[in-house]
A and B are shown apart, each in its own frame.
Chain A
Amino acid sequence: GQQLNQSPQSMFIQEGEDVSMNCTSSSIFNTWLWYKQDPGEGPVLLIALYKAGELTSNGRLTAQFGITRKDSFLNISASIPSDVGIYFCAGQRGAQKLVFGQGTRLTINP
């Protein structure tokens, strides 16, 4: 089946640092989504990308849809304690179901 490779699997950073994570695929997607999951909760959508090359920001978060349509990255600037959680990328192609990456677990040291 379709595979999304998300990296890194985990990150340990200091508060205030910037964070970068990415997803790559062997398949082309028409939509890239980034979700965050807090402990004990379901994933919540952070940013949605619908066009190749699109760069979208949501506060301190910035995500880009790769030109090849096979990758996407998410950056978080000036991290704060509430950024802790697991971040998932997800890709969708046409009317097909969402495919999720393995997740990036973010830990922040105050």
Chain B
Amino acid sequence: NAGVTQTPKFQVLKTGQSMTLQCAQDMNHNSMYWYRQDPGMGLRLIYYSASEGTTDKGEVPNGYNVSRLNKREFSLRLESAAPSQTSVYFCASTQGALPNTEAFFGQGTRLTVV
């Protein structure tokens, strides 16, 4: 009954450090997404992967890279963290990219860059 699992749940980085946020889903979904949530901004799409082997930029991709490792896993990497990347990060997955599809979200990773 796991759904979408994100690790870690909390992280503090120093400016310039790198890290990878991990996401895995066990629902055999084709599409996976990374969002960031900032106060008053809603959820903004960073990158998405419509299917295994493909990735595309979203609304705010700068400073991030992603890897769709396999159908289950979609990781988000910050190569050189900046304070502007302090945010809550959510991973989501959908069965497909068609209508009539529900997005399932992980519990989020709260990242602070000092």
Which residue numbers of A lie inside 8 Å of B, CB to CB?
1, 4, 6, 9, 30-31, 33, 40-45, 48, 50, 88, 90, 92, 94-103
A-B contact count (CB 8 A): 59
Chain A residues, Cβ within 8 Å of B58 = 97
Contact A94 B99 (CB under 8 A): yes
Which residue numbers of B lie inside 8 Å of A, CB to CB?
4, 33, 35, 40-45, 48, 50, 58-59, 90, 92, 97-100, 102-103, 105-108
Contact B42 A40 (CB under 8 A): no
Give the distance to chain A from B73, nearest Cβ to Cβ, in Å.
17
Chief secondary structure at chain A's binding surface: loop
Of B4, B41, B42, B59, most A-chain CB atoms within 10 Å: B42
Chain B residues, Cβ within 8 Å of A92 = 99
- Expressed in whole angstroms, the Cα–Cα distance for A1 and B41 within the complex equals 14
Give the distance to chain B from A56, nearest Cβ to Cβ, in Å.
13
Which single residue of chain A is at the shortest CB-CB distance from B59?
A1
